[in-house]
């Protein structure tokens, strides 16, 4: 028996590293410093391996590894295509930045309570979800990331945190259970769990009613995970309650796992063919954009405002999926890249603003511009990025989506995209005017943060927001990668052949 | 046999929905427990029910001689049971901690994370 080639291990390397790092951190439970060092070593190694994997996928198409050398479709396979490997790379990158941020954000107590191992476990879960090629395995990764996120959410144990965690826990458990129900039914229908194999067999099923019912269950489960309308209410109820660093990584990554799962299932297993599901997706996308924008507009708590912009962002990605044209899907994927960076960045920035001003609510918070003009400039840049001011990165995917909507004969969807951008701009401008520009009546509280901690909060915030902005100025490579990823998704034959072998 | 299982699963889902509609959080948590159990039964049934033929292969054979029960759904259920049990325990403890902090398990009174204070302040102005 010849083992898997060493290079094949690259496919699972990022997530194995995450799990090992998490376990190692748990070994050094009482030594926060050791945990932090392990955390950095792990996330940096994850970034490097994910980057290598991504380079290989770009050069040579989908990379596949069969666990335990069981040939597909019998064993569990891990399959990285452009979308999956790219998202794994982003996950690791955001992980590194969040760890730097939490050096200033998380107190010693939280680190002793297991912050780093939980974070690494969650990162491993997210990476696993992006890389697996087996639908039951996807469920397991969902649960892994859910367990990690539960722990991170309740760290600190404040009143509102516990309550937010309850709502988050119940609704997310419900979503994963619906996912499991759908998977059970799908297994009963086609008798396989390998996603590529399912794709081949579902296409041959004659009972389309049953297939559509299962697809609807998946839509509900992943829609809830992705915080799409009308199932997003758990997100603004819980994402603002933990420490800002935790909110940042939640806002940046977790909902995108839901969107990723939607994109994967509805391009590979139940390809959208212009039927009822396309219409459904269009309505969901438009409603998510508008409710996200309107929700952001009425918030006074900056953290909740950002949470609603995260919800709105989900809508743009779904527009790409709903239209199912190559241009639209690549626009949606480009938006996903943008949204991972800017959602993380804005949550981080809001955390810094709260540190400086001593509050998160714009009815109290004021005068940050006078205190720290440089930080105000960074926040403003982030605000412009998220609302899609040209030439920043929110702008280009929206151009593509508007063009694609009109080309597909759905101008109302283009209107929703534009209105959503406008609402977001209003919301963030209002926040900037109140919290930053307005002079504070009382002097700002003297921050308890040491200059060193402050630097570690500020550094990653600035880096990620500037990265998101630069993404717009140098949009060409990102757009090309998004286009290649969309191409792969719309023509899954290469993915299926890579997983099942060329004989299938 | 499958129709009987289907009916039982249906009843369990109905109980779940009833429990979810309750205002008491403890009942909602019990609903999650019921839901995961119903799901396990559903996977079991979806894998087809086979009687008295364990998935065993005789010593000198490499493939089973006759039709056997499908072991895969049972492996899936085992995984799902472990996960759902752990998460159920977590949510149960979380509910208890929330009860200690908030002094209530009534979902209508849980509004610490989404305060209505802002709305009432505006009304007062």
Nearest CA of chain B to the CA of A418: how many Å? 29
CB burial of A8-38 (b: ≥16 within 10 Å; e: otherwise) equals: bebbbbbbbbbbebbebbbebeeebeebbeb
Structure tokens, A123: 């990162």
Taking contacts as CB-CB distances below 8 angstroms, the residues of chain A near B25 are 166
Q: Is A170 on the interface with B (CB under 8 A)?
A: yes
ipTM over 0.90: no
Q: Which of A166, A183, A188 sits opposite B94 (nearest CB)?
A: A166
The answer to whether B118 contacts A140, with C-beta atoms less than 8 Å apart, is no
Q: Is A241 on the interface with B (CB under 8 A)?
A: yes
The answer to whether A150 contacts B98, with C-beta atoms less than 8 Å apart, is no
Q: Is A312 on the interface with B (CB under 8 A)?
A: no
Segment B7-23 shows an average pLDDT of 94
pLDDT of res. A257: 94
Could you tell me if A63 and A10 are in contact, meaning their C-beta atoms sit under 8 angstroms apart? Answer: yes
pLDDT of res. B5: 92
Q: Give the gyration radius of chain A's Cα atoms.
A: 22
Cβ burial, residue A216 (10 Å; 0-12/13-18/19+): middle
pLDDT of res. A2: 45
Nearest CA-CA partner of A332 in A295, A281, A279, A277? A281
Q: Is A364 on the interface with B (CB under 8 A)?
A: no
The residue that leads in pLDDT, A118 or B2, is A118
Distances (CA, A) of B38 to A211, A260, A481: 21, 27, 43
The single-letter DSSP state of residue A492 is T
The answer to whether B94 contacts A162, with C-beta atoms less than 8 Å apart, is yes
Nearest CA-CA partner of A341 in A482, A469, A485? A469
Taking contacts as CB-CB distances below 8 angstroms, the residues of chain B near A143 are 83, 87
Taking contacts as CB-CB distances below 8 angstroms, the residues of chain B near A174 are 20, 32, 35
The residue that leads in pLDDT, B68 or A271, is A271
The answer to whether A165 contacts B84, with C-beta atoms less than 8 Å apart, is no
Q: From first to last of its 504 residues, what are the pLDDT tens digits of chain A? A: 344 566 778 888 999 999 999 999 989 888 888 888 999 999 999 999 999 999 999 988 888 888 777 777 788 889 899 999 999 999 999 999 999 998 887 777 777 778 899 999 999 999 999 999 899 999 999 999 999 999 999 887 788 888 889 889 999 999 999 999 999 999 989 988 999 999 989 888 888 889 999 999 999 999 999 998 888 888 888 888 888 889 999 998 999 999 999 999 999 999 888 788 888 999 999 999 999 999 999 988 889 999 999 999 999 999 999 988 899 999 999 999 999 999 999 999 999 888 888 888 888 888 888 888 888 999 999 999 998 888 888 888 999 999 999 998 889 999 999 999 999 999 999 989 888 888 777 777 766 677 788 888 888 999 999 999 988 888 888 889 999 999 988 888 888 888 887 544
Nearest CA of chain A to the CA of B90: how many Å? 9
Handedness of CA A469, A267, A141, B28 (dihedral sign): positive
User: Between A and B, how many CB-CB pairs are < 8 A?
Assistant: 100
Q: Is A166 on the interface with B (CB under 8 A)?
A: yes
Nearest CA of chain B to the CA of A391: how many Å? 36
Nearest CA of chain A to the CA of B1: how many Å? 15
Taking contacts as CB-CB distances below 8 angstroms, the residues of chain B near A147 are 86-87, 90
What is the distance between the alpha carbons of residues A20 and A121, in angstroms, rounded to a whole number? Answer: 9
The answer to whether A159 contacts B83, with C-beta atoms less than 8 Å apart, is no
Q: What domains can you pick out in chain B, each with its CATH number?
A: 2-51+69-110 (1.10.287.3510)
Could you tell me if B11 and B58 are in contact, meaning their C-beta atoms sit under 8 angstroms apart? Answer: no
What is the distance between the alpha carbons of residues A318 and B56, in angstroms, rounded to a whole number? Answer: 47
Q: Name the CA dihedral angle for B88, B94, B98, B100, rounded to a multiple of 10 degrees.
A: 100
Nearest CA of chain B to the CA of A411: how many Å? 36
CB burial of A442-456 (b: ≥16 within 10 Å; e: otherwise) equals: eebeeeebeeebbeb
The answer to whether B91 contacts A174, with C-beta atoms less than 8 Å apart, is no
B50 φψ region: left (φ > 0), alpha (ψ -120 to 50), beta (else): beta
Nearest CA of chain B to the CA of A445: how many Å? 23
For chain A, the structural domain boundaries read 273-491
The answer to whether B97 contacts A162, with C-beta atoms less than 8 Å apart, is yes
Q: Is A213 on the interface with B (CB under 8 A)?
A: no
Residue A4: φ, ψ to 5°: -65, 140
Cβ burial, residue A131 (10 Å; 0-12/13-18/19+): buried
Taking contacts as CB-CB distances below 8 angstroms, the residues of chain A near B110 are 163, 166-167
The residue that leads in pLDDT, B4 or B49, is B4
Taking contacts as CB-CB distances below 8 angstroms, the residues of chain A near B94 are 150, 154, 162, 165-166, 169
Q: Which of B25, B43, B84 sits opposite A166 (nearest CB)?
A: B25
Tally of residues, chain A = 504
Taking contacts as CB-CB distances below 8 angstroms, the residues of chain B near A247 are none
What is the distance between the alpha carbons of residues B87 and A356, in angstroms, rounded to a whole number? Answer: 37
Q: Give the gyration radius of chain B's Cα atoms.
A: 22
Taking contacts as CB-CB distances below 8 angstroms, the residues of chain A near B80 are 139, 180
Q: Which of B46, B95, B114 sits opposite A188 (nearest CB)?
A: B46
Taking contacts as CB-CB distances below 8 angstroms, the residues of chain A near B124 are none
Could you tell me if A75 and A68 are in contact, meaning their C-beta atoms sit under 8 angstroms apart? Answer: yes
Q: Is A237 on the interface with B (CB under 8 A)?
A: yes
B28 alpha-carbon distance from chain centroid: 11
The answer to whether B102 contacts A159, with C-beta atoms less than 8 Å apart, is yes
Could you tell me if A181 and B110 are in contact, meaning their C-beta atoms sit under 8 angstroms apart? Answer: no
Nearest CA of chain A to the CA of B45: how many Å? 8
The single-letter DSSP state of residue A15 is H
The answer to whether B32 contacts A241, with C-beta atoms less than 8 Å apart, is no
The answer to whether B35 contacts A177, with C-beta atoms less than 8 Å apart, is yes
Could you tell me if B29 and B108 are in contact, meaning their C-beta atoms sit under 8 angstroms apart? Answer: no
pLDDT of res. B116: 63
């Amino acid at each position: 028996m010849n083992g898997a080639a060493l290079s094949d291990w690259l496919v699972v390397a990022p997530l194995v590293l995450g799990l090992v790092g998490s376990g190692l951190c748990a070994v050094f439970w009482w030594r926060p410093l050791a945990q932090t060092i392990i955390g950095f070593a792990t996330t940096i190694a994850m970034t490097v391996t994910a980057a290598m994997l991504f380079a290989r996928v770009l050069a040579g198409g989908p990379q596949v590894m069969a666990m335990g050398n069981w040939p597909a479709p019998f064993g569990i396979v891990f399959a990285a295509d452009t979308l999956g490997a790219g998202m794994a790379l982003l996950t690791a990158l955001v992980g590194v930045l969040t760890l730097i941020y939490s050096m200033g954000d998380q107190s010693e107590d939280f680190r002793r309570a297991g912050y780093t191992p939980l974070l690494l476990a969650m990162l491993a879960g997210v990476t696993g979800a992006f890389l697996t090629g087996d639908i039951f395995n996807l469920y397991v990764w969902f649960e892994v990331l859910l367990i990690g996120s539960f722990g991170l959410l309740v760290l600190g144990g404040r009143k509102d945190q516990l309550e937010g965690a309850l709502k988050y826990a119940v609704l997310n458990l419900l979503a994963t259970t619906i996912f499991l129900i759908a998977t059970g039914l799908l297994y009963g229908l086609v008798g396989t769990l390998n996603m590529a194999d399912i794709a081949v067999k579902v296409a041959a099923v004659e009972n389309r009613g049953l297939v559509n019912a299962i697809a609807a269950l998946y839509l509900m489960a992943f829609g809830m995970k992705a915080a799409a309308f009308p199932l997003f209410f758990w997100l603004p109820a819980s994402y603002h309650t933990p420490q800002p660093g935790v909110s940042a990584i939640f806002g940046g990554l977790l909902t995108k796992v839901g969107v990723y799962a939607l994109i994967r299932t509805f391009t590979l297993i139940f390809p959208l063919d212009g039927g009822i599901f396309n219409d459904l997706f269009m309505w969901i996308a438009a409603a998510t954009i508008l409710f996200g924008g309107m929700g952001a507009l009425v918030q006074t708590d900056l953290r909740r405002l950002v949470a609603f912009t995260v919800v709105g962002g989900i809508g743009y990605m779904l527009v790409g999926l709903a239209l199912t044209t190559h241009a639209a899907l690549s626009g949606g994927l480009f938006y996903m890249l943008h949204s991972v960076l800017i959602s993380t960045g804005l949550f981080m920035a809001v955390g810094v603003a709260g540190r400086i001003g001593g509050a998160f609510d714009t009815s109290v918070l004021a005068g940050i511009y006078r205190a720290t003009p440089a930080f105000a400039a960074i926040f403003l840049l982030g605000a412009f990025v998220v609302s899609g001011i040209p030439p920043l990165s929110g702008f280009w995917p929206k151009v593509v989506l508007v063009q694609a909507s009109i080309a597909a004969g759905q101008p109302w969807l283009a209107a929703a995209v534009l209105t959503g951008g406008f609402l977001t701009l209003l919301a963030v401008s209002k926040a900037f005017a109140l919290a930053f520009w307005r002079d504070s009546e009382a002097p700002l509280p003297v921050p308890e943060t040491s200059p060193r901690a402050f630097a570690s909060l500020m550094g990653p915030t600035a880096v990620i927001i500037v990265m998101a902005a630069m993404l717009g100025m140098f949009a060409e490579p990102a757009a090309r990668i998004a286009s290649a990823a969309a191409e792969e998704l719309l023509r899954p034959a290469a993915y299926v052949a890579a997983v099942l072998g060329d004989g299938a | 046999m499958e129709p009987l299982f289907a009916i039982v699963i249906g009843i369990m889902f109905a109980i779940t929905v009833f429990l979810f509609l309750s205002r008491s959080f403890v009942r909602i948590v019990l609903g999650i427990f019921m839901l995961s159990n119903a799901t396990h039964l559903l996977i079991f049934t979806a894998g087809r029910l086979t009687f008295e033929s364990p998935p065993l292969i005789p010593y000198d054979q490499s493939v089973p001689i006759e039709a056997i029960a499908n072991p895969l759904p049972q492996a899936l259920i085992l995984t799902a049971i472990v996960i759902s049990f752990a998460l159920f325990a977590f949510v149960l403890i979380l509910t208890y901690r929330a009860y200690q902090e908030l002094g209530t398990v009534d979902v209508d009174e849980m509004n610490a994370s989404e305060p209505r204070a802002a709305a009432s302040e505006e009304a007062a102005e």
